[in-house]
Structure 1
Amino acid sequence: MSNLPPFPCYQCGACCCNVNRSQETQFLDSGNGVCRYYDHQTKLCTIYETRLDICCVDKQYQLNYKDKYSWVEFIEINTIACKILNSKT
């Protein structure tokens, strides 16, 4: 995957602030829809270097979606999800 474009994450925190919206990430909910590892002040993950697989877009693609979508399609789908989550925060 190194020759493919990287996932365009802008570190907005929208996915981290809406973990309650997906069954795959609900276990990370600190009780208000926000990931227990999200730092509101820095808007960054406190465990980024050791974050869970569900939080790694590239890894999720390889593990669960590479047989369903191309990498470009997967980026497009996730970018749409990002925009939707951003509109709700």
Structure 2
Amino acid sequence: MSFPCTRCGLCCQKIKGIAELEEFHSGDGKCKHYSQHKGCLIYQKRPLVCRIDEGYEKLFSQLVGLKEYYQKNAEVCNSLQQEQDYPPRYRVNLDNGH
């Protein structure tokens, strides 16, 4: 199983205040490697904190269970989407994998 990212891009547009992503900040809250039309321009080389599953294994697996980790990430995703009035089809639903 992997985290069911809906690729809305909001996590890339709201990085201000995330210490691990400070060097990627473009000054307007967005990652300098994010394109509205293409998504992450460094996807294969993106930071570990941007890799939900690999980040869990290497950073968080000793601190929290996978289910709780996915739930917290889903809550953040869905909260960002609601704040930006994204359509419900983008919501992360852990019950059916999307």
Instruction: Say whether the fold is shared (TM-score over 0.5).
Output: yes
Separation in structure 2 between the aligned mates of residue 24 and residue 85 of structure 1, nearest angstrom: 19
1:60 aligned onto 2:55: yes
RMSD over aligned CA atoms reads 1.4
TM (norm. structure 1) is 0.83
After superposition, residues 5-84 of structure 1 pair within 5 angstroms as 5-42=1-38, 44-84=39-79
The Cα shift of 1:81 comes to 0.9
CA change 1:25–1:86 in 2 (3 A) is farther
Separation in structure 1 between the aligned mates of residue 48 and residue 81 of structure 2, nearest angstrom: 22
The Cα shift of 1:87 comes to 2.8
Q: Which amino acid aligns with 2:6?
A: Y
The Cα shift of 1:24 comes to 2.4
Separation in structure 1 between the aligned mates of residue 35 and residue 81 of structure 2, nearest angstrom: 17
Q: Which amino acid aligns with 2:80?
A: L
Any stretches of 5+ residues in structure 1 without a counterpart?
none
The higher relative CO (CA closer than 8 Å, separation ≥ 6) is in 2
Q: Which amino acid aligns with 1:7?
A: F
Separation in structure 2 between the aligned mates of residue 37 and residue 59 of structure 1, nearest angstrom: 20
Runs (4+) off by over 6 Å: none
